[in-house]
Structures are given as C-alpha cells and as structure tokens.
Structure 1
Amino acid sequence: MLLLQLLLLLLLQLLILILLLLLLLLLLLLHLLPLLLLLLLLLLLILILLQCCYCSLLQLLLLLLQLQILLLLLMLLLLMLLLMLLLLLQLLLLLQQLLILLLLPASAATADTATAAAAATAFYCSYFYYYNNYYYCYCWWCLCN
C-alpha cells in the first residue's frame, strides 16, 4: 500500500514537473527567457537524473520536489523581471510625454487646450495640418485627433 502511494505521488510529481516545464517553454516561446537559461535548466535536470540512477523512490521524490521548487522560483523571478520591464516602459512613456510638453512651441503653449494638445501629438502622426485655427493630425496607429 505504501509503495502504491509513493508511486502515485511520484506520478503526480512528474505531472507537475512536466506542466512546469511546459509553462517554462511557453515563456521561452514568448521571448521572456534566454535560451541559455533553458539549457542550464536541462543540464540541472540531467544532473539530477544521473545522480538518482541508484537512489530510492523517496529520494527521487525529494529531488523532483527540489526541481519543482527551483522552477517555481525561476518563474517568480521572471515575472518580477517582466514587471520591472513594464515599469521601465511606463517610465519611458512618461518621460516621452514630458519631453513633448517641454518641446511645444510657445505659440502652441499659449493657444487653447485643444490646439496645444494637437500640437503636442504632432510628431506621432503620419501627417499634420492646420485648419480653422486648430491643429489636426492623422496617424494610422493611434487616436490623436
């Protein structure tokens, strides 16, 4: 009975490990991981399996659990790096908006709000024109009118 429970636990551990590896592969396909990290992980898996050639079932379960914990920590690290990248992108967008406001011409800064906003987005647009005392811009990828 105990052997059957250990075998079921081993199968569950292997299933969790396969799911974690598939999730890691998905992250790799999304270009969030360098290929070197995946190779390092595969090398670690090979070393664990080589170390466990003559070990008991319980030792194998413990090694698989250690590998799963390592994978979870690695994915947590990747998520934190992704969040840091998103925060950096947000900061760059904020700096870009500040530069737009600083580079506005004095006439656009003293004009009404709609004209100033249109002038601020002028270089985002494919082309940009002045009509009826207002600036209008057309861009194919944003809503800047």
Structure 2
Amino acid sequence: MVSLMVSLMVSLMVSLLVSLMVSLMVSLMVSLLVSLMVSLMVSLLVQAPVSLMVSLMVSLMVSLLVSLLVSLMVSLLVSLMVSLLVSLMVSLLVQVQSRAAAAV
C-alpha cells in the first residue's frame, strides 16, 4: 500500500510537470495565432494603425488567459489519469513480484 502511494505521488508530479510544459507551449502558440487573426480582422474593420496595436495587445491577453486556463484544466486531468495508470501498473508489478517470491 505504501508503494502504491509513493508511485502515485511520483507519477503525478512527473506527469503534471510534463503536461504543464506541453500545454503552456501549445497555449502560447494558439493564443498568438488567435490574437493575430482577431487583430487583423479588427484592423481591417477599423482601418487605423493605432487600433491594430491595441487590438493585438488586447486579443493576445484575452486569448492567452483563456488558453492557459483551458490547458491547465486539461493538463490536470491528463496528469491524474496518467498517474493513476502508472501507479496501478507499479502496484500490480509489486504484487506479482511478491507472489513470485513467496512461491519460491
């Protein structure tokens, strides 16, 4: 039971770290693309050079915030599922090894 908890904690930390790094990079890319598209559409509608910079900054901030929140929730769910699977596999391996050692 102790090894199950230890493996659960270790796998949770590792998978959370990896999924957060990947989701951060993906959210940065998505927010940049979305903000560029929104700012270009706004600048085409308004047709002023100052509004292009303002709309770019505002849309970048909003899309970055939304994509970071979504990616954080997704990475938490993914890391929980991965850590549960890894800890179950480790506990099964420990049980199989202990039964094999007891049989010998």
Give the alignment's TM-score, normalised by structure 2.
0.49
The structure with more radius of gyration: 1
Structure ranking higher in strand proportion: 1
Greater relative contact order (Cα 8 A, min sep 6): structure 1 or 2?
A: 2
